[in-house]
Amino acid sequence: MKVGFIGLGQMGSAMAANLVKAGHAVTVWNRSPGKDDALVAAGAVLADTPAAAAQGDVVMTMLADDRALEAVVFGEDGILDCPALHVSHSTIGVALADRLAGERQRYVAAPVFGRPPAAEAGKLFVVAAGADDLIDLCEPVFEAIAQRVFRVGTTPSAANLVKLSGNFMIMAAVEAMAEAMTLAEKGGVDRATLLEVLTGTLFSAPVYKTYGDMLVADKFKPAGFAAPLGLKDMNLVDAAAGASRTPMPLLGIVRDHLRTAIALEGEDVDWAGAGLAVRRAAGLD
Ligand code: NAP
């Protein structure tokens, strides 16, 4: 397929590389220059505007946040009036997804679960929503980037609601593990032992293993998913919860702990660094 790919950050560059590897004709664009070198060497074509990357069958976007996606869609040389089907992978808010779905461009929401190593391995989970025939068109490109595609409805923003709910649950798991590990450690049981027992018994899910290992190692840099992006997501969860009058008391705690992690460690800390807020409050280093 003729595929445009916009946004060559940690996730986007890996996803675009897999599209090239799978034999698609890929045209890429990124706001800052220099991130496309490896892709161009592998056979991708560099576009000089977002619109130029959206002349083929589909254009996939993987950008930081709502503002970035708005700039690429509605800004100068944006993709709004281009022929390609817009497949939006970024974690954005429900309101923006609804707005994009109401525009004149054909649109599929396809946010993803999985961190950069999963993106590199072509093992993301895609959560897709939109018209069935449009999602059908995307199958060949999803095959190149994902291990599984979930279809969650015909209203695109449903996919964003699922993605935001999942990210809230990841942060809730990090909070719960950090509290339990801190309790154990202060009582003389090391974190690694606690994690081994819990992931070997009742808590064997990938989220506990991936984030549990990070909490045990106390290693939050380099960030695979930067805390400011995680904070952006918790703010998007809050906006969705506010709109539907859904109380989410736990959300306030994890959002504050992300703020603490950024204040303590800087903008380049991984969002799992939220666990540091728990440790420090309990008097541990
Ligand atoms: P990233 O490495 O920070 O990349 C962000 C991308 O957005 C870069 O290409 C950046 O361009 C672009 N961008 C930012 N502001 C822009 C603007 N105003 N106009 C145009 N382009 C702009 O982020 P990432 O980790 O790849 O994440 C991308 C998206 O995937 C986010 O929505 C994130 O929440 C979601 N996500 C991330 C993960 C993860 O584990 N990292 C997992 C699942 C989903 P420049 O190069 O010019 O800065």
Summarize pLDDT for 224-263 with one digit per residue, the tens. 999 999 999 999 999 999 999 999 999 999 999 999 999 9
Q: Are residues 180 and 218 in the same domain?
A: yes
Q: Are residues 226 and 150 in the same domain?
A: no
Q: Are residues 43 and 132 in the same domain?
A: yes
Q: Are 44 and 57 in contact (CB under 8 A)?
A: no
Q: Which of 114, 140, 155 is the last residue of a domain?
A: 155
Query: Quick one: which atom of ligand 1 is closest to the CA of 115?
Result: 40
The whole-model pTM stands at 0.96
pLDDT at 58: 98
| Average pLDDT over every residue of 32-54 | 96
2, two tokens: 């003729």
9 alpha carbon – ligand 1 mean position (Å): 5
Q: Which of 132, 155, 178 is the last residue of a domain?
A: 155
pLDDT at 195: 98
Q: What CA–CA distance (Å, rounded) separates 100 from 63?
A: 15
Q: Residue 35 CB: number of other CB atoms within 10 A?
A: 16
Which DSSP symbol is given to 263? Answer: H
Cβ 166 under 6 angstroms from ligand 1: no
Residue nearest to atom 31 of ligand 1 (CA): 64
Q: What CA–CA distance (Å, rounded) separates 158 from 130?
A: 9
Q: Are residues 199 and 269 in the same domain?
A: yes
* 103-107 long-range contacts, CB within 8 A, separation 24+: 103/73, 104/80, 105/73, 105/79, 105/80, 105/81, 106/134, 107/134, 107/156
99-122 confidence digits (pLDDT tens): 999 998 999 999 999 999 999 999
Query: Quick one: which atom of ligand 1 is closest to the CA of 92?
Result: 32
Mutation pick for ligand 1 pocket among 29, 39, 63, 89 (CB with most ligand atoms within 8 Å) = 63
Share of the chain above pLDDT 70, in %: 100
Q: Are residues 14 and 62 in the same domain?
A: yes
pLDDT at 2: 98
| Average pLDDT over every residue of 64-73 | 98
* 133-138 long-range contacts, CB within 8 A, separation 24+: 134/85, 134/106, 134/107, 134/108, 135/108, 137/57, 137/58, 137/85, 138/58, 138/85, 138/87, 138/108, 138/110
- 124-128 and 85-88 beta bridge pairing: unpaired
| Average pLDDT over every residue of 72-90 | 98
Q: Are residues 218 and 264 in the same domain?
A: yes
Cβ 112 under 6 angstroms from ligand 1: yes
Q: Are residues 58 and 150 in the same domain?
A: yes
Q: Which of 155, 177, 200 is the last residue of a domain?
A: 155
- 128 bridge partner residues: 151
6 pLDDT tier (thresholds 50, 70, 90): very high
207 pLDDT tier (thresholds 50, 70, 90): very high
Domain CATH for 50: 3.40.50.720
Q: Are residues 67 and 176 in the same domain?
A: no
Report the catalytic residues: 163
pLDDT at 51: 98
Residue nearest to atom 30 of ligand 1 (CA): 90
Cβ 29 under 6 angstroms from ligand 1: no
Q: How far lies 136's CA from each of 42, 86, 87, 132, 140, in Å?
A: 27, 13, 12, 6, 9
pLDDT at 118: 97
Q: Where are the beta strands (DSSP E) in 80-214?
A: 85-88, 107-109, 112-113, 124-128, 146-151
Cβ 99 under 6 angstroms from ligand 1: no
pLDDT at 187: 98
Cβ 90 under 6 angstroms from ligand 1: yes
Q: How many domains does the chain have?
A: 2
Residue nearest to atom 1 of ligand 1 (CA): 9
Q: Are residues 146 and 213 in the same domain?
A: no
Q: What CA–CA distance (Å, rounded) separates 159 from 150?
A: 9
Query: Quick one: which atom of ligand 1 is closest to the CA of 31?
Result: 47
Q: Residue 75 CB: number of other CB atoms within 10 A?
A: 14
Q: Are residues 64 and 144 in the same domain?
A: yes
Rounded to the nearest 10 degrees, the angle between the axes of helix 206-217 and helix 157-186 is: 50
Of 106, 95, 162, the closest CA to residue 136 belongs to 106
Domain CATH for 224: 1.10.1040.10
Q: Are residues 150 and 11 in the same domain?
A: yes
Of 20, 90, 81, 15, the closest CA to residue 50 belongs to 81
65 alpha carbon – ligand 1 mean position (Å): 7
Q: Residues 175-212, buried b or exposed e (16+ Cβ, 10 A)?
A: bbbbbbbbebbeeeeebeebbeebbeeebeeebbebbb
Q: Are residues 49 and 135 in the same domain?
A: yes
pLDDT at 47: 97
58, two tokens: 């589909």
Which range of residues forms the domain containing residue 64?
2-155
Q: Are 129 and 159 in contact (CB under 8 A)?
A: yes
pLDDT at 140: 98
Chain-centre distance of CA 164, in angstroms?
9
| Average pLDDT over every residue of 20-24 | 98
